[in-house]
Chains A and B, each alone.
Chain A
């Protein structure tokens, strides 16, 4: 289950609760990460600037300020991946954090496996070459982004231009949660960011065409109230 030194990242934890810092630190050090801690947003910004971490884990409920502002500040000069921790009541804070530039989120309470899975996914995306692969394969589906061709069990699948655009935005960022606004802006354009029903309808089409059981999707996952996530596995 445990693979040592699998991840050699420098991780900054911005969290006011010592017990959580300790557990996250233990879990991350077990897989080979170096961990730095900050207990306030102020200190977190400072550490982020000086230590140049590969990943920031940020608690949204810090008492000394708004985590979303922290993300905006940070994004002004850094593209470092940010993993947000939040309590479930703060659903709409999570969306704000993701829209502001956070990469993913974890809901408290979370387990070690969940934490490590998210850390891996976020850092993998960050370290990957930004061009990305032009061919993506998941389940029985084969997508050639350059040729604009999709096959399902070697049978061609016909997608409309918007369906294809939506698919390519999703598959180009595997395991990342994309908010409704982000998807609407990228696929339909900035005018459409409030018309989320387009997204619902086209997501339904994609699932109809690409999922084995559209009601119980395995690849195009709904993050209720937040957005969608593409899971290749």
Chain B
């Protein structure tokens, strides 16, 4: 059946070997012989006209069964044998009588026409059958592909189906994450694959089916797998022998197959993406619920400790107890520990997985104000210089996290400079960035240490007496970098240290200025 399926529109037969041809013509010869003998036997009972019918019947049978060539042979042989056996003089060819010539001509013409028509029907039936076959192959393939769950399955199904319906060797080349095609896994036999050609086919989304050297149809075709969104790979088809030029239908069919495969691959791609996203979200949720739980569990005893110590302090103060100082110390140490726990939890939150930013339009002035207010106690011994450009635009950032950066930098300045040292914040716009600087007039940073300050567990002074585990700056860097900004530390020319960070500015959101109906119009507008 498959051999018959390989017949093209113009009736060319491929892969039909010489023995098949020989057999067809042999059958035609035998048929002619048989009908002559049958007619000879039946001659006493039949009219000449009926004998002619028998001969025509033989032509139809051969035409239906074996095609045009054998039918032609039978038609000619029949005419000759009829003339030889049944037209007087018997057992001799006689074309001299008008009678005999007419019979001869009519038989030949009728035989040829009938043979021709029958052969054409037969041929069209075969074409129809072949098409049906292909349709059913395509259908099977589509069904199997729709059930595939992995790219490997798609490769296997495509290979099997294409090999079955085209009698060719086939394979798929799939790209990796960087759109580089990978050598085919499950390579059937040895396909002389040229990965460079395949890559070109993939990149330009163009099939390659011509041999560049000879200009002939190549034995190895590269068909891009075009899916609705992008090309998903390349289909390799290796023909065992070069095809003769009219190959339009083959090509159309292969294109259809390629689309089927591409869609299957795209579906699998998106299924994978969806699954990965789900897994990531699940992991993210688990992580944040773990951290929230941890935070709750760690803070609860701290809260109780601080609260109870404070209650007790208040009572002892009333009684003028000598233990007030010890209790006050417990209270302070607990407070410090709580801060450390905060830092560790923050670090964990920022380091594990991707930071989720709750961005919104923020006023830096407000964030600085909030940070300074939070640190009222630690900063009380330091003169504070705030120099913020009054025309600072709003910045799209996570308020809580940027306040945390400011708090950490101010806290550091307060911690590592002697009381009375001036601390300041300067902020301005530089092109498309908001630049913020926290400076102090303290001893400055140890030379050469500036870059590693932002590493985890690094502290400016080795074995310093100032407590802390050095997470503050690492937290700052994580936050600033998550915003697409930069942070650096350096010594000021005038003495002291400077920590500067910059955040990208975005075009401001739309803002309708107020219609000032019951106050004087503001000529400058509000924006």
A residues contacting B by CB (< 8 A) are 1-2, 17, 19-20, 22-24, 26-27, 30, 61, 85, 87-92, 108-113, 115, 158-162, 195-198, 200-201, 203-205, 214-217, 221-225
Supposing A1-B317, A112-B307, A161-B518 touch, asked if A204 and B292 sit within 8 A by C-beta, the answer is no
Mark contacts of B378-402 with chain A using CB atoms, 8 A cut-off: 1 yes-contact digit, 0 otherwise: 0000000010100000100011100
Which of A26, A195, A197, A224 is B308 in contact with, Cβ under 8 Å? Answer: A26
Given contacts A109-B335, A216-B369, 6 further A-B contacts (CB under 8 A): A2-B315, A19-B300, A160-B516, A201-B511, A224-B400, A225-B398
Q: Chain B contact residues: over half helix, strand or loop, or mixed? A: helix
* Nearest-neighbor residue (CB-CB) of B304 within chain A: A19
Task: State the Cβ distance, A171 to closest chain B Cβ, in Å.
Answer: 19
Count the B residues whose beta carbon is within 8 Å of the partner chain — how many?
57
Given that A108-B300, A216-B369 are known contacts, is A23 also in contact with B511, CB under 8 Å in the complex? Answer: no
Q: How many contacting A-B pairs (Cβ < 8 A)?
A: 145
Write the nearest CB–CB distance from B510 to chain A, whole angstroms.
Answer: 9
The residues of B that contact A20 with a CB separation of less than 8 Å are 300, 303-304, 307
B345 CB to closest chain A CB (Å) equals: 6
B308 touches A196 (CB 8 A): no
Top 7 closest pairs, chain A to chain B, by CB: A19-B304, A23-B307, A197-B361, A225-B400, A109-B303, A61-B296, A89-B295
**Docked-complex contact A109 and B307, CB < 8 angstroms:** yes
Q: Does B349 contact A (CB under 8 A)?
A: yes
In contact, A204 and B366 (Cβ under 8 angstroms): yes
On whether A200 and B363 interact (CB within 8 A), knowing A160-B514, A224-B370, the answer reads yes
| Pairwise interchain contact A112-B314, C-beta atoms closer than 8 A | yes
- CB neighbours (8 Å) of A109 from chain B are 299, 302-303, 305-307, 334-335, 338
- Known contacts A160-B514, A161-B517, A201-B511: does B361 contact A196 (CB below 8 Å)? yes
Asked if A113 and B310 make an inter-chain contact with CB atoms under 8 angstroms apart, the answer reads yes
Given the known interface contacts A1-B314, A19-B300, A26-B308, the answer about A158 and B386 at a Cβ–Cβ threshold of 8 Å is no
Whole-angstrom distance from the CB of B521 to the nearest CB of chain A?
A: 10
A110 partner residues in chain B, CB cutoff 8 A: 303, 306-307
Given contacts A196-B360, A200-B361, A215-B369, contact A111 B394 (CB under 8 A): no
Let me know if A162 and B514 touch, CB within 8 A.
Answer: yes
Also in contact, A197 and B511, with CB within 8 A (given A87-B296, A112-B307, A216-B386): yes
Which of A110, A113, A160 has the most chain B CB atoms inside 10 A of its CB? Answer: A160
Q: How far is the CA of A226 from the CA of B391 in the complex (A)?
A: 24
Are B304's CB and A161's CB within 8 A?
Answer: no
Nearest B residue (CB) for A211 = B369
For window 303-327 of B, CB contacts with A under 8 Å fall at 303-308, 310-311, 314-315, 317-318
Binding site for A on B (CB under 8 A): 291-292, 295-296, 299-308, 310-311, 314-315, 317-318, 334-335, 338, 342, 345, 349, 358, 360-363, 365-370, 372-373, 386, 388, 394, 398-400, 403, 508-509, 511, 514, 516-520, 522, 526
Pairs across A and B, CB under 8 Å, 29 listed? A1-B314, A2-B318, A19-B301, A20-B304, A23-B304, A23-B308, A88-B295, A88-B299, A89-B292, A90-B292, A92-B358, A110-B307, A115-B307, A160-B514, A161-B514, A161-B519, A196-B361, A197-B360, A197-B394, A203-B363, A204-B363, A205-B526, A215-B372, A222-B369, A222-B373, A224-B367, A225-B358, A225-B399, A225-B403
CA of A112 to CA of B305, assembled, Å: 11
Q: Complex: how many Å from CA A196 to CA B358?
A: 13
In the complex, which residues of chain B have a beta carbon less than 8 angstroms from the beta carbon of A61? 292, 296
Tell me the complex Cα distance, A222–B400, Å: 11
Chain B residues with CB under 8 Å of A198's CB are 511
B-chain residues with CB within 8 Å of residue A1 when the two chains form the complex: 314, 317-318
Residues of B within 8 Å of A221, CB to CB, are: 373
Please name all residues of chain A whose beta carbon is closer than 8 Å to the beta carbon of B338 when the two chains form the complex: 109
Q: Which residues of B contact A159 (CB under 8 A)?
A: 519
User: Are A87 and B306 in contact, with the CB atoms below 8 A?
Assistant: no
Q: A27 vs B362: C-alpha distance in the bound complex, in angstroms?
A: 37
Cα A221 to Cα B369 with chains together (Å) = 9
Residues of B within 8 A of A216 (CB): 369, 372-373, 386
Residues on the A chain within 8 Å of B369, using CB? 215-217, 222
Distance, CA A109 to CA B305, complexed state (A): 9
Residues of A within 8 A of B311 (CB): 23, 26-27, 30, 112
